[in-house]
């Protein structure tokens, strides 16, 4: 097994060509005066830089390590509309109209990624269509109301799948209903981030790697940015450093909970995989535990649940192996070929941090596990805000910068996360138990009816009084 934490490893795609596509790194050694300084060359920073450069601005990106070194180069590449915050919570928080606007911005973010994944823009991203959101519990009613809301109020193509169809496609008893998003898609995420960097350079942005920002003076019309070997002055500074920003703006870093996500690519699984899984898009469960899809014909790429520490890859590989075995026991012992991981920034309220902190100081961070569409949206909103007076970023104002609670708060957050996962696992177990109870009750009734038919008698009154099978175990 090969592995690397937030570094170069075989991610979802063809690493060799992705690495080859990454250009030579150059650090900043001379002082500069620019219009816009972006801190961080992940998905967010690079999209801001690309859009600002396209609009004709003089843009510099400062990256402490390499472009796409962290989560942005180590993700599963699934692109969906929406946010980490569930839609119902979003409506409760900002009201229906603003929730609709925010949702439509998030869809536009997904469309932005799709447009850039076209072969003539960024080549070799291998876009494939369709994402299946599966439920761990028997939640047919909730599914129908969610579907109605998505299609009628939020103009999002979505299709409900009944349990039988889900289980024909994913041969496991663990999942019940599902929502299929035919317009959601997946790409090779590692290549995408390098493609964005190349587009930004071609549009005129200058990207300096190995250039950590160690200090920012955000006051005054011209902001001052300090790096180990050079200083900059800029009219706008965009903080797109995610959880890595550190001392450059500690108060902002403290509003994010760092969360590590590991993912594995299995060794080839041959025919047995085709028998277990016939869906070729991404599968995500509603509790955020499972996220997987088929890659390279007969391998699985599978993300593990999150941790709030940078756990050892070996331990995570074992956890992923166990999880695959729980969901698809028919695959038998699965060998892990490659592990990769990245750290994501989670906000307390579950929505990204997008907008202006003070005149000329902008933030694009906290995208959580749904960073592709949201960082694309943020890039456009912030470039528009800086250069064209577009103030739609204000839609994010209700989601303030909330202190994430330091080390204690993060540990507590993790405990809450574990409790939620345990609760959802228990709900899943209960749902499967109820399903089995209903099947047993139906079989009993059938045997009973058959016995009556053969005996030519009426059912005894005690049996007639029994609850109908659908209510048993409910
Ligand atoms: C295993 C995994 C799977 C995922 N799967 C998906 C998925 O399928 N779909 C999806 O939408 N999202 C997914 N995500 C989430 C997504 O990858 C992130 O939300 C997104 O990459 C965050 O991008 P970012 O630009 O905000 O941050 P980052 O990628 O962390 O980039 C921030 C950059 O800023 C630099 N930086 C920070 N501070 C400084 C400083 N002071 N000076 C200079 N540079 C600095 C860092 O070095 C870093 O390169 C996944 C994440 C992981 C880890």
Q: Assign residue 344 the CATH number of its domain.
A: 3.50.50.60
- Cα–chain-centroid distance for residue 175? 20
- Write the residue with the smallest CA distance to atom 28 of ligand 1: 42
CA of 471 to the centre of ligand 1 (A): 47
> In angstroms, rounded to a whole number, what is the distance separating the alpha carbons of residues 295 and 273?
11
Backbone angles phi, psi at 222, to 5 degrees: -100, 120
Query: CB neighbours of 220 closer than 8 A, spacing ≥ 6?
Result: none
Same domain? For 235 and 322 the reply is: yes
> In angstroms, rounded to a whole number, what is the distance separating the alpha carbons of residues 78 and 70?
17
Same domain? For 27 and 151 the reply is: yes
Same domain? For 348 and 451 the reply is: no
DSSP state of 152: I
Query: CB neighbours of 296 closer than 8 A, spacing ≥ 6?
Result: 265, 268
Q: Which residue has the tokens 């002082």?
A: 31
Same domain? For 400 and 454 the reply is: no
Residue 82, ligand 1, Cβ within 6 A: no
Residue 66, ligand 1, Cβ within 6 A: no
How big is the CA angle at 398 (ends 397 and 401), to the nearest 5 degrees?
Answer: 75
Same domain? For 389 and 422 the reply is: no
Residue 190, ligand 1, Cβ within 6 A: no
Same domain? For 422 and 336 the reply is: no
Mutation test of ligand 1: which of 37, 125, 369 has the most ligand atoms closer than 8 Å to its C-beta? 369
**Token pair belonging to 160:** 């409900």
What pLDDT tens digit does each residue of the chain (474 aa) get? 666 544 333 334 433 334 444 556 789 999 999 999 999 999 999 999 999 999 999 999 999 999 999 999 999 999 999 998 888 899 999 999 999 999 999 999 999 999 999 999 999 999 999 999 999 888 777 777 788 889 889 999 999 999 999 999 999 999 999 999 999 999 998 899 999 999 999 999 999 999 999 999 999 999 999 999 999 999 999 999 999 998 888 888 888 888 889 999 999 999 999 999 999 999 999 888 899 999 999 999 999 777 777 777 778 899 999 999 999 999 999 999 999 999 999 888 889 999 999 999 999 999 999 999 999 999 999 999 999 999 999 999 888 766 555 555 555 555 555 555 555 666 666 666 666 777 777 776 777 667 667 766 555 444 444 444 443 333
Residue 342, ligand 1, Cβ within 6 A: yes
- Write the residue with the smallest CA distance to atom 31 of ligand 1: 42
Residue 201, ligand 1, Cβ within 6 A: no
Q: Which of 404, 432, 447 is the last residue of a domain?
A: 404
Query: CB neighbours of 76 closer than 8 A, spacing ≥ 6?
Result: 12, 186, 189, 263, 282, 291, 293, 301, 303
End-to-end CA distance of the chain: 45
Query: Could you please report the per-residue DSSP string of 360-373?
Result: TEEEEE--TT--HH
- The reported pLDDT for the residue numbered 348 is 85
- The reported pLDDT for the residue numbered 304 is 79
Same domain? For 217 and 119 the reply is: yes
Residue 263, ligand 1, Cβ within 6 A: yes
Strands (E), 125-267: 128-134, 159-161, 178-186, 206-208, 215-217, 223-226, 231-239, 257-266
Ligand 1 nearest-atom number relative to CA 80: 11
CA of 233 to the centre of ligand 1 (A): 25
CA of 272 to the centre of ligand 1 (A): 34
Mutation test of ligand 1: which of 371, 372, 374, 381 has the most ligand atoms closer than 8 Å to its C-beta? 371
Same domain? For 462 and 348 the reply is: no
Ligand 1 nearest-atom number relative to CA 365: 26
Residue 72, ligand 1, Cβ within 6 A: yes
Q: Which residue has the tokens 């509309």?
A: 81
CA of 213 to the centre of ligand 1 (A): 17
Angle between helices 189-202 and 43-54 (to 10 degrees): 30
- The reported pLDDT for the residue numbered 321 is 95
Residue range of the domain that includes 70: 2-404
Same domain? For 353 and 436 the reply is: no
Query: Could you please report the per-residue DSSP string of 46-115?
Result: HHHHHHHHHTT--EEEE-SS-TT-SGGGSS--EE-SS-SS-HHHHHHHH-HHHHHHHHHHHHHHHHHHHH
Same domain? For 255 and 109 the reply is: yes
Residue 64, ligand 1, Cβ within 6 A: yes
- The reported pLDDT for the residue numbered 309 is 74
Same domain? For 286 and 143 the reply is: yes
Q: Which of 404, 436, 462 is the last residue of a domain?
A: 404
What's the number of domains the chain is made of? 2
Same domain? For 443 and 368 the reply is: no
Best CA proximity match to 77, nearest among 117, 41, 46: 117
Ligand 1 nearest-atom number relative to CA 366: 26
Angle between helices 87-94 and 96-116 (to 10 degrees): 130
Q: Which of 389, 404, 419 is the last residue of a domain?
A: 404
Torsion of CA 216, 220, 222, 228, to 10 degrees: -20
Angle between helices 372-388 and 43-54 (to 10 degrees): 40
Q: Model-level pTM?
A: 0.85
């Amino acid at each position: 097994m090969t592995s690397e934490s937030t570094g170069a490893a075989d991610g979802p795609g063809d690493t060799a060509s992705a690495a080859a596509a990454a250009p030579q790194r150059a650090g900043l050694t001379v002082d500069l005066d620019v219009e816009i300084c972006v801190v961080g060359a992940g998905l967010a920073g690079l999209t801001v830089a690309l859009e600002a450069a396209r609009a004709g601005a003089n843009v510099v990106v400062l990256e402490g390590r390499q472009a796409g070194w962290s989560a942005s180069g180590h993700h599963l590449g699934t692109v969906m509309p929406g946010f980490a915050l569930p839609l119902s919570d979003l409506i409760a928080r900002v009201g229906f109209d603003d929730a609709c606007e925010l949702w439509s911005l998030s869809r536009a973010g997904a469309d932005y990624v799709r447009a850039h994944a076209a072969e003539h823009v960024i080549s070799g991203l291998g876009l494939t269509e369709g994402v299946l959101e599966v439920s761990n519990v028997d939640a047919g009613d909730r599914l129908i109301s969610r579907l109605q809301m998505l299609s009628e109020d939020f103009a999002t193509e979505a299709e409900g799948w009944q349990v039988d169809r889900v289980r024909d496609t994913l041969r496991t008893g663990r999942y019940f209903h599902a929502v299929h998003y035919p317009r959601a898609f997946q790409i090779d995420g590692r290549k995408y981030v390098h493609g964005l960097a190349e587009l930004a350079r071609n549009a005129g942005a200058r990207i300096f790697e190995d250039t950590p920002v160690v200090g920012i003076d955000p006051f005054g019309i011209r902001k001052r940015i300090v790096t180990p070997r050079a200083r900059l002055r800029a009219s706008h500074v965009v903080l797109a450093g995610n959880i890595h920003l550190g001392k450059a703006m500690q108060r902002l870093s403290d509003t994010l909970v760092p969360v590590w996500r590991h993912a594995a690519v299995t060794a080839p699984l041959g025919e047995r995989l085709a028998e277990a899984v016939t869906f070729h898009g991404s599968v995500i469960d509603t509790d955020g535990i499972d996220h997987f899809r088929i890659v390279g014909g007969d391998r699985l790429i599978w993300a593990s649940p999150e941790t709030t520490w940078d756990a050892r890859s070996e331990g995570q590989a074992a956890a992923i192996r166990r999880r695959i075995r729980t969901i698809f026991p028919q695959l038998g012992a699965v060998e892990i070929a490659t592990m990769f991981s990245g750290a994501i920034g989670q906000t307390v309220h579950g929505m990204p941090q997008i907008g202006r902190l003070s005149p000329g100081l902008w933030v694009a961070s906290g995208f959580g596990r749904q960073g592709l569409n949201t960082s694309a949206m943020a890039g456009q909103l912030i470039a528009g805000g800086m250069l064209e007076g577009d103030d739609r970023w204000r839609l994010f104002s209700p989601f303030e910068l909330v202190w994430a609670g330091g080390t204690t708060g993060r540990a507590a957050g993790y405990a809450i996360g574990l409790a939620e996962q345990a609760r959802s696992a228990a709900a899943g177990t209960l749902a499967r138990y109820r399903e089995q109870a209903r099947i047993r009750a139906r079989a009993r009734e059938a045997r009973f009816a058959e016995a009556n038919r053969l005996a030519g008698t009426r059912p005894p009154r005690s049996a007639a009084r029994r609850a109908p099978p659908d209510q048993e175990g409910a």
